Structures are given as C-alpha cells and as structure tokens.
Structure 1
Amino acid sequence: MKIDMRNRRLVAGLALAAATVATMTACSGGGGHKAESVAADATIKITPGDGTRTARPDEGVAVSASNGHLEQVDVREDGVSAPGGFSTGNTSWKTTWTLKPGVWYQVKVTAKNSKGHETAVMSRFRTAPAGNKIAISDVTPQAEEKVGVGMPIIVTFDGPVANKDQVKQALEVKSDKADEGAWHWMSDRQVVYRTHHYWQPHQKVVFTAHLAGVRAAKGVYGTTDVTKRFSIGASNITVANGKTHHMTVNHDGVVKNFPISMGKATTAEYTTTSGIHLTKEKEDPVTMVSPGHQPGDPEYYKEVIHLAVRISDGGEYIHQAGEEYDALGVRNASHGCVRTSPTGARYFFGIAQRGDVVNVTGTDKKFVDEPYDSDWKFWNYSWDSWLKDGNLQR
C-alpha cells in the first residue's frame, strides 16, 4: 500500500505536538504555585464544662489547649478575677486557689494555632453550695499589731479539720523580707506558722487564708477568705541565766546586762523553767497569788508586783523585784519568776512586745514539759521536727 508522504508528515507533526503537551503537563512549575498546608485551629477544653451547676469548689478551674497554645484565660466571679497560672509552653492553665461555693463563674479563653490563627471560647458554670461550713475563729497576732521576732501565727478553726493538707495549702504568708517558714498542726482545730529562724526585724507581714471553697472535711467547706496584716518590730532577744544570776537583753544590737534572781527551786513549783519562752503580755501592776495555797499556809503569798511581763501561762514573769534585792545577781530566791532590778525591769517592760524571745537557762526544769497547751513552746523543737506531721520532737 502506498502512503502519501504529505499525510505521513501530518501524523508525525500531531504526535510531536501531543508529546510536547504531555511533557509540559508533567513538568509544569515554571510559573505555577504549590498548595499551602492548612493548620488545624486550636482546640480549647474548660473544666468544669459550660452550664455545670454543681462544680466542686475545691477542684477549681482547669483549661487546656491542643493544636496550639493558650493566649489568655480570664475566670471571674462578680467582676473579680480568680488568679491562676500557665504551664510551661502555655498548653494548660489552672486556678491558684479554690472557688467560692454556690456562685456563678464566667470563663473567657483565647488560644492560637501554629499559624497564629486565634480561637476564642466562653463558658459559665456554678459551684455547688457548701452543705456544712467551717471558718476561722481566731488569728494571733491581732490585725495591725507590732510583735517580736519570735512571734508565731496561730490559726484556730471553729470545727475539726480532717483534710489538713488541703487547708494548709490554702494558707499564705508573705513578708517584706521573705523569711522562710512552715505550718504545723497542733491539733485538728489549730495550726501554727513558725519561721525557720527568727523573723527579721522591722518588716510587714500579710497572712491570707484562701479558705473559700476549701474542703476541710467530707461535705464541709470554707466560705470566706481571711486576711490579717501585722508587723515585726524591734529584735528583742533576752538570755536569763539561773547560774550566773544575770540576764542580757539584746535590743536591735544594743546589749544591756541586768542582775536577776530566779526560782529558788525548793520545789518543782518554785523552779523557773529552762527553754525558749516568748513574751505574751505585760501589766503594771499585777497581783500574784500562790496557786493551790490558802492564807495561813507557809507557802501562801499575795504580792503586788510592778513592771511584769508574762513569759508562760504557768505564771512565769520577768518583773521588778518586790523584796530580797540582795539576792539579785547573787542567788535564786523567787517563787519561779525572773526578778530584776527596778532599772532592768523598767527597761525590759518598756521595750517588750508580744513575741519577744526569752531564753532561760541554768535550771533542770524544762519549759517544753509544762502541761499548759496554751504556752508558746514552738521554738523548743527542731526545724526538721516542725516540718513533719505528727507529734513534735525536741
């Protein structure tokens, strides 16, 4: 069969054109654009969930983000923001303290994905009301009181606390000079804060109990936060020695020495206790009566004493001697108190503030063994013992 040469050239030309188009299609890119990847939006999770009406106050608010990071979290109750903190990388957030029982909270959260696209979420929930309530019945020291460098913070509750760790975590102490301290439970109703070393003098302290929403026991919640402010005054540290019959008083670095006469130790009752005491109150005058003795008893006494500063609930004071001035600096002749000269008593009384340190030495009766639970014996225990739960060890 004879093929027309003109048709052969036409077919070849069409084939070449088709191949060229196919090649250009497969290798295109000279002026084209690659498809951009699309990042998923950040996903936000808020706990408790939107619309919840019985959220546990002690569990707080938790927020997390996936496919991105949190930018802003705002949790409010009646216009007041609840403090909280972000995790490393801002992938989660949690309230610092517990929530108020029986109230509505509003939560606003923004997050961004890897491309910077923002996602915003809002929610509302209500905390469960407190079936039974617990509150603080007393805080020592008093609000705005100026106290000594040994002063503890004593918090007493109006009911027993079972969840001691949860309650302790809600108690916050801030001092201007950032002194280290720790809480120790003395009973199921009382917890005490003591610094590692004595407070540094001349500073302000703020105690806050973030008690609202704390689950103190099963079905028992705190409903109200408590804040008390006080200050640390001068550093007054006294050492009274029953063997040398003198006491040294260090007042902000100024040291004075005074003659004393301590308990005559004819009986345990008349023996001054050794150990670290704290001043508790001062009176001028105060009438002292022998405990457990009646008029006519050889051991009975009733004396009006001046410039008296109490250092224990067992009846020990530092005060001006009312008699036997010849014993001062020489021998122990009192009924258990620390007697000193009029000059020494006036000076000590004048600078004394609650929580000053008085370290009594030189006797064989220990202050820590006294039976009075209200005594402030806290400095007679080691720091390691103070940090542990349970009974304190010397």
Structure 2
Amino acid sequence: MAPKTWSTGRKAAVLAAACALAAGGGVFAAAGPLAHPSFASEAGSPERSTQGLAFPVVAPLKLAAAPADAAVQVNPAATVTLKVGNGRIERAALTSDSGDAVDGKLSADGSSWAATGPLQFNTRYTYSYSVVDGAGRSTDATRSFTTVSTANEADAAIYPLDGMKVGVAQPLQLTFSEPVLNRAAVEKAIKVSSTSGQAGDFHWYSNTMVRYRPQNFWAANSTVTMDIKLFGVDLGKGQIGNFNKKVTVHIGDKKVAIADAKAHTFTASVNGRQVGSWPATLGDTRFPSARGYLVLMEQYRVEHMDASTIGLKPGDPAYYGQLDVNYATRLTTSGEFIHQATESAMPYIGKVNLSHGCIGLGPAGAKWVFDNMTTGDVVQVVNTGGDYAANDDGYGDWNIPWVKYAN
C-alpha cells in the first residue's frame, strides 16, 4: 500500500489552522522556536522570586569591637567588647604581649563577648576571635591595642594610713602625683562613711592635694572609711588614676587642749573632762604663737632645733644656735611644737611668753602630752598676738569656717 501523501491543498489548510491557533493564544508562537510560557524570562521565574529557595541569600555579619584596632592610650578601665549581628561568636581571647590571659565571658546566644578581668597600664593587648555567619561560614580575625602609658599613670598618697588610730581633729588627705583638673570626678570616686553617720566635704588646697573633714570634730571612738575607686578615673589632660583602695581609720577619745598665751597655761581634757593643767610659755611679741586650732602631727622623744631654719643668725638677740629639746610634738610643718622648755626658760614658764612660737611646758606637762596625746588630737591657742598659721602648714582645716570649707 502506498504511503499517504499530503496534498498541496491539505498542507495549506493545516498551516492555516496553525496560524489561527497561534493568533488565538495557542501553544506555539506564530513564527519562532518552541517556548514554555512559564519561563518566558529569568526574572519571572517563580523559584527565584523567593529569596533563598534556589540560591540562599545570607545576611552579612555585623561586627562591632572595642577598643578599635591599633588604638593607643586606651584607659585600662575600659571594657574590651565584641558584638556580632547576623551570626555568632565561636571563640574569643584577650592576651597581653607578655602572655597573660584576661578572663572574659561569652553571652548565652553567642552574640557578644566581654573581658571581665582587669587590664594593666602601659601594656599591648591582642584579642583574637572566630565568628560564624548564618550559612555556617567561619571567619577568624585578630586586633590589638595599647593601654595608657606610664607617663599618664596617676597615683596618690593617702593619710591617715589604713588601720591607723588618730584623734578627732584629723582630716583625711590625698596627695596626687599629677595635677587634678577634673576635681568633681575625683570627689565622686571617693566615698567617705563613718559609724557616727557624720557627713563631710572636700577642700582642695592645690591641684595635687585635697582634704576631707566633717563640720565638727569626728565623734570619739568612731570609725571612718574611705572607699577610693580612682582606677581609670580621668584626672584631666589624659592623666588616669591607677588604683582602688579601701582605708579604715579609727578615731580615739576626744582629746583637746587649750593653750592660753595670756594666762600662761596649758589645760587638757579627755572626752569633755579636764585631766590636767600646767604652766606654759608661748611665743613672745616678736615670734607670737599661731592662733586657732593646731592639730598634732608627729612626736619625737628628742628633737634637734636650729635657729637658722627660722632666719636667725649669730648676733641676733633671739639667736639660740642649735639645741635638743625633750618630748616634742609637732603642730605645724614650719616648726611650731609643744615641747619641754629649755633649762634657761624653765624659771619663766607660767609667767612670761619667751619662746619662738612653740608651747613650752615643764617636764611633767610635756611628758603627759607626749604619752597621752597623738596624731589628730588638737590644741586651741587663745589670747595670742599671732595670726593663724597657713591652713596647709599642718592641719589648719578647723580654722576655715564650714560655709567656706567646700570649694
């Protein structure tokens, strides 16, 4: 049987039908290659119109680290931190150039890490870490920084010393190794409390020395605590405090003496009860004793005195050369003492003022002061022609009216 053949007319009919279908939206394009209407273009692909279905899109890691890489003069009180967004921290470590590791803590969700151990001054630190993004890809990195140099490290000496027992008139004193410009920051870093509940205030004598006292003498037999947190405190001009310390000071009985330049007497009381009165000689008209409150500073069984230290020279009627005195208790830095009068002055005690500003007593009175009074106890000098000693010449804090003390 012969194979079927298309007639020219039938071919024409079929082609016409195909053209008609195409014109009506059929399966084939009218005059082009085969095409699937669902994939007419890449942009129209339903698989790729939804992010992450065929080709996952991972949000980039967000990383914040402090201090900044290669930072210098970093405050050792600053916290070293690492924070990650769109990922997690796998590992973090902080180490000094000398190999000392600094403790740190990773958050439960792995989004942050922070150093918990202290940093040192003048030290280079390196912190390395590994972070993982949402696709599980890990990235390792290392950063470094250097803390405040030794030249910008500020220290302070504290008095009284921790555990010391002092009298009721003893101010608290800090002497700084560097000038303090940010006084308010320093005062905020020093918390003073007392078992008596007494409040006090600071008085700055210079940019390197500050004292603290209450409005009235410390309560007898109380305890005063200084909680000093100066580590990392900016004193100004980049000078950074380098220590924290708690100091406890014990206050003894209230021991107060009155030296009367007119009556030529020295009268002492303990906790408000008079315990003794002795004849005295105070400064003469050329060298009158300083008036007001003088706080006992230190004591010497024998103290060497030199007339040249107060400007006296041989030939001056007041010149006494050099001599040693017994039972000496210092009242001022410049050289006023309570001490046993010299043999030449002994006939005049209780009668005439003839010292060079010191309070001269007989052997019994001088020894009682030496044996029974101590640092922080107080002598009030009255009826003298002398002016007040400079407030920082010893502890002249109690000669400053309370309303003017805080500055």
Same fold (TM over 0.5): yes
1:334 aligns with 2:351: no
Instruction: Give unmatched runs, 5+ long, in structure 1.
Output: 1-48, 62-77, 79-101, 110-119, 390-394
Instruction: Give, in whole Å, the separation in 2 of the partners of 1:60 and 1:191.
Output: 29
Aligned match of 1:125:
114
Instruction: Give, in whole Å, the separation in 2 of the partners of 1:355 and 1:345.
Output: 17
Deviation per CA, 1:151-188: give whole Å up to 9, x if none. Answer: 01110111111111011100122222222211122111
Distance of aligned partners of 1:107 and 1:232 in 2 relative to their CA distance in 1, 3 Å threshold: farther
Instruction: Give, in whole Å, the separation in 2 of the partners of 1:354 and 1:297.
Output: 34
- Listed as ranges, the matches of 1:55-94 within 5 Å are none
1:308 to 323, 328, 332: 328
Letter in 2 for 1:286: E
Instruction: Give, in whole Å, the separation in 2 of the partners of 1:329 and 1:188.
Output: 43
Deviation per CA, 1:181-227: give whole Å up to 9, x if none. Answer: 11122111111111211111223322222011212114332232123
- Listed as ranges, the matches of 1:1-394 within 5 Å are 52-53=66-67, 106=105, 123-125=112-114, 130-132=147-149, 133-255=152-274, 256-265=276-285, 267=286, 270-290=287-307, 291-301=310-320, 302-322=322-342, 323-368=344-389, 370=390, 373-387=392-406, 389=407
Cα drift, residue 139 of structure 1: 1.0
Letter in 2 for 1:209: I
Instruction: Give unmatched runs, 5+ long, in structure 2.
Output: 1-62, 69-73, 81-93, 95-100, 120-144
Letter in 2 for 1:319: H
Instruction: Give, in whole Å, the separation in 2 of the partners of 1:106 and 1:199.
Output: 45
Q: Following TM superposition, where does structure 1 have runs of at least 4 consecutive aligned residues deviating by more than 6 angstroms?
A: 55-61, 102-105
Instruction: Give, in whole Å, the separation in 1 of the partners of 2:169 and 2:110.
Output: 50
Instruction: Give, in whole Å, the separation in 2 of the partners of 1:121 and 1:181.
Output: 47
Cα drift, residue 150 of structure 1: 0.6
8 Å Cα contact 1:207/1:229 also seen in 2? yes
Cα drift, residue 386 of structure 1: 1.0
Larger Rg: 2
Cα drift, residue 344 of structure 1: 1.3
Instruction: Give, in whole Å, the separation in 1 of the partners of 2:380 and 2:303.
Output: 23
8 Å Cα contact 1:136/1:155 also seen in 2? no
Secondary structure of residue in 2 paired with 1:149: coil
8 Å Cα contact 2:201/2:212 also seen in 1? yes
Instruction: Give, in whole Å, the separation in 2 of the partners of 1:376 and 1:57.
Output: 35
Aligned match of 1:8:
none
8 Å Cα contact 1:289/1:300 also seen in 2? no
8 Å Cα contact 2:180/2:208 also seen in 1? yes
8 Å Cα contact 1:280/1:354 also seen in 2? yes
Give me the identity figure in percent. 29
8 Å Cα contact 1:52/1:125 also seen in 2? no
Q: How large is the RMSD of aligned CA atoms in angstroms?
A: 3.1
